[in-house]
A and B are shown apart, each in its own frame.
Chain A
Amino acid sequence: MSSPADPDGRREAAWLDDAEELALAEALRAAWRPAELDSACVDELVELALTGPELASGEAAIEAEALRAAAYGGELSPARAGALAALAVGELPTPAETLAGRTLAHELGSGAPPPLVEALRAAWEPRELAAGRAAVLADRAVERRRRTNVIAVAFGAGAGVLALAAGVALLVRPPPEAAPAAAAVPVARSRSTAALFEERFTVEATSARIDRIGEARARDLRANRYAAWGVR
């Protein structure tokens, strides 16, 4: 970068010492034309990476073995290859999955397996019924049948006795007293409304007159019904 005071940048270039100049030149060469790395150096780096204590077991060990096989040649066992493939394609477990896995492990270890585990085991290797349990259940079924029969017989006998008693009662019961003759009670009959209006007839107050007629006829209807029912 040049400035008005130093138009060709000579002052900045003069500030680099020899070591800086060499590093800059190497970086420029590496970027422009990168050189091959010595194979011994590669081996050393790979070995260094694959012997860390954190790679002794689990998924890291599988990955390390795969890397070794890739770096030095050799074959992975089918199980290792399967595990590596599962690691490669499987997403990392979410916290929920980790928790669910731990819960399942606990349930399996505690002897209270989830229903589907129980169903699988029941279908694959069904366990025996507890000794004597079949006899208990069979006796219960037979006894239940006996009790049902006893109840049915008792109920039938009771119903028969009641029916007989009802029949006898019908036979020996005196005939019911005749209901009071409705016709003997005087009932209101249709008649003129003239008796309802003593005042002089005018053209006004039509609704009031209709209401009066309605009330009178409703009263007559109630009285007639009471008479018919014999409750007057």
Chain B
Amino acid sequence: MLPWVFGPEGPLAALRATARRSGRVRSVLDEAELERERSEWERAREGDRAALGALLSRHGPRLYRSVLLPRLGSPALAEEALGVTYVKAVERFEQFTWQGVGIYPWLRVVALRVALDQLRARKRELLFEPEHVERELDGAAREVRDAEALERHDLAFARRRVEEVLGRLNPRYARAIVLRVLEERPRDECARELEVTAATFDVVLHRAMTALKKVLAERGAAA
């Protein structure tokens, strides 16, 4: 790893702190919420379509942001995967038995399976290999954590993957990607940070992305 990029003083640490401050991870399901979810589940089992729709749509944003989007790498693909996840969840709803942590862990397994299918059929460069999701699925069936804990786990897992692939690059290339792609800083500012002209920064970033593709291709071939 690169301490100056990923360490406590590095730019990624500042990004992490910002994400924490912004409160993007939702609060834990409290008892009342859990009870409401159980009530909806019972009504859905008896054929109440509105209850089933409410149950599914409540967990949709979380599934999209922490499970599907990071692994599939595209908002369009992730949204499509969420639709397929819902269809499969409705088809197999009878198979779900109530857990003390709600329906989210079960929905997450369905979403991971959908993501796995899409990763296997992919035609573009992605950060995740099917093997990564397969390993997650191995432990997901016995999952007892609640939705918030799982969301934290999934978001951290995706970030570790980014750090892992950037850590395999030349530090200057990794820095160019952190500045321009992850922090989304303006081009001129990135060039100043690297002390080169904007035109040279463009070439450095292009080389950085090419190196990243190569790393991913090697990892994909090795996986």
Contacts and interface: CB of A to CB of B under 8 A. Distances in A.
Contact of B78 (A102, A122, A145): A122
Interface stretch (A37-45, A79-87, A205-213): A79-87
Given A86-B172, A105-B205, A115-B73, A141 B56 contact: yes
A119 B127 contact: yes
B195 A62 contact: yes
Given A117-B181, A122-B74, A128-B65, A83 B195 contact: yes
Contacts of A80: 195
Contacts of A86: 172, 204
A124 to B, nearest CB: 5
A142 interface: yes
A98 B19 CA distance: 35
B10 interface: no
A113 B124 CA distance: 14
The main secondary structure of chain A at its interface with chain B is: helix
Interface residues of A, number: 49
Contacts of A57: 197
Contact of B182 (A93, A121, A139): A121
B159 A123 contact: yes
B69 interface: yes
B75 A97 contact: no
A55 interface: no
Contact of A118 (B74, B86, B128, B177): B74
A137 B82 contact: yes
Nearest to A84: B195
Interface string B178-197: 00111010010000011111
Interface in B182-219: 182, 184, 187, 193-200, 202-207, 209, 212-213, 216
Interface string A46-88: 0000000000011100100000000000000001101100100
B74 A82 contact: no
Nearest to A104: B206
A137 B73 contact: no
A141 B90 contact: yes
B197 A105 contact: no
Contacts of B91: 145
A172 B58 CA distance: 59
Contact of B125 (A97, A116, A133): A116
A97 B207 CA distance: 8
A122 to B, nearest CB: 5
Contacts of A97: 203, 206-207
B196 A141 contact: no
B7 interface: no
Given A58-B196, A58-B200, A137-B82, A118 B73 contact: yes
B79 interface: yes
A108 B159 CA distance: 21
Given A105-B202, A146-B49, A141 B195 contact: no
Interface in B43-80: 49, 52-54, 56-61, 64-66, 69-75, 78-79
A134 B59 CA distance: 8
A100 B206 contact: yes
A135 interface: yes
A174 interface: no
26 contacts: A59-B196, A86-B172, A86-B204, A101-B204, A105-B198, A108-B180, A108-B187, A117-B181, A120-B127, A120-B162, A121-B182, A123-B73, A124-B15, A125-B19, A127-B75, A129-B60, A134-B59, A134-B82, A135-B57, A138-B57, A139-B53, A141-B90, A142-B56, A142-B90, A144-B90, A145-B90
Given A118-B74, A142-B56, A145-B87, 18 more contacts: A62-B196, A79-B195, A86-B172, A93-B203, A108-B180, A117-B181, A119-B125, A119-B126, A122-B78, A123-B161, A124-B162, A126-B65, A129-B65, A138-B57, A140-B86, A141-B83, A142-B86, A145-B91
Interface of A: 57-59, 62, 79-80, 82-83, 86, 93, 97-98, 100-102, 104-105, 108-109, 113-129, 133-135, 137-146
